[in-house]
Amino acid sequence: MRITWLGHACFLLEGSKRILIDPFLTGNPLAPVKPGDVKTDLILVTHGHGDHLGDTVEIAKRNNAIVVCIHELSRILVKRDVEVLGMNIGGSAYSMGVKITMVPALHSADFEDESGEIVSSGSPVGFVVEMDGVKVYHTGDTGLFSDMKLIGELYEPDIMLVPIGDLYTMGIKEAVKAVEFVRPKVAIPMHYNTFPPIEKNPEDFKQEAEKFCRVVILKPGESYEYRP
Ligand code: NI
Ligand code: MN
């Protein structure tokens, strides 16, 4: 599986299918691509905040991609003529040979519509995605919670995409503990350096987290090839 970081919490997973997660490109100063450049079969959205939902509607329409997200957010997106697969925490969805399990995240969520009105978009979530026998855990925006141990035990993710930026999510100390809880083979830090309030040195995370797994630091636009 090829994993490309498109900045912030956005990753493109490429194997037998293409899976795009949290495509915040427009308005992201570090985004290495434009929404029109991205090709994908599925889009997974962890929650309704603008830095995660991002360009989902535009990319979904251009690619005829299916958007996988929590039920309440799927109801918002379906009104924007996007094909959705709404689900909820604890369950798994199967689409195009990919298994997608929705797991909890400790965060908040809302959605601001075109008129500026703020509406509920359901709970924020994380995803465990299994494609071609490789399992990737994208935590979404989250604080640390001890049930991450269960996620590690039940789904045994190979790769964990983990926020380190602090302020809105876990900082480095919490992210290191999260990796200790989940015990992936590889951890890739995300949700840092996009804006000044979440500036962090990923090497500080790497130094501590490498007690528990391999840490791969990507630059926006860089890819990592994972071979089981
Ligand atoms: Ni958020
Ligand atoms: Mn965020």
Integer Cα distance of 136 and 103 in angstroms: 12
- Token code pair at residue 164: 């380190």
Beta strands across the sheet bearing 223-225: 84-87, 66-70, 42-44, 18-21, 11-14, 2-5, 223-225
221 pLDDT band, cuts 50/70/90, is very high
CA distance 128 to 145: 16
State residue 123's pLDDT score. Answer: 98
Please state, in angstroms and rounded to a whole number, the distance separating the CA atoms of residues 54 and 40: 15
Closest CA to 216 of 174, 177, 167, 158: 158
Do 17 and 7 touch, CB atoms closer than 8 A? no
- Report the pLDDT value the prediction gives residue 216, as an integer from 0 to 100: 98
Model pLDDT, residue 114: 87
How does pLDDT run across 138-172, given as a tens digit for each residue? Answer: 999 999 999 999 999 999 999 999 999 999 999 99
**pLDDT for the residue 85:** 98
Distance from the CA of 52 to the center of ligand 2, in angstroms?
A: 6
Q: Residue 148 has which token pair?
A: 């991450």
Residue 52, token pair as written in the block: 């995660």
What's the angle, vertex CA 64, arms to CA 61 and CA 43, rounded to 5? 85
Whole-number Å distance, alpha carbon 218 to ligand 2 midpoint, is: 18
Cα(55) to centroid(ligand 1), Å? 15
pLDDT band at 136, cuts 50/70/90?
very high
Task: Please report the domains of the chain, with CATH numbers, ordered by start residue.
Answer: 2-225 (3.60.15.10)
Q: What's the confidence (pLDDT) of residue 189?
A: 99
CA of 107 relative to ligand 1 center, distance in Å = 7
**Mean pLDDT computed over 191-219:** 98
Cβ neighbors of 126 (< 8 A, separation 6 or more) are 46, 102, 103, 104, 105, 137, 138, 139, 140, 142, 151
Q: What is the band of 228 on the pLDDT scale with cuts at 50, 70, 90?
A: confident
Q: How far is the CA of 49 from the centre of ligand 2 (A)?
A: 7
pLDDT confidence band for 178 (50 / 70 / 90): very high
Instruction: Report how far ligand 1's centroid is from the alpha carbon of 142 (Å).
Output: 8
User: Does position 60 have pLDDT exceeding 90, yes or no?
Assistant: yes
How far is the centre of ligand 2, averaged over its atoms, from the C-alpha of 179 (Å)?
A: 19
User: pTM for the complete prediction?
Assistant: 0.98
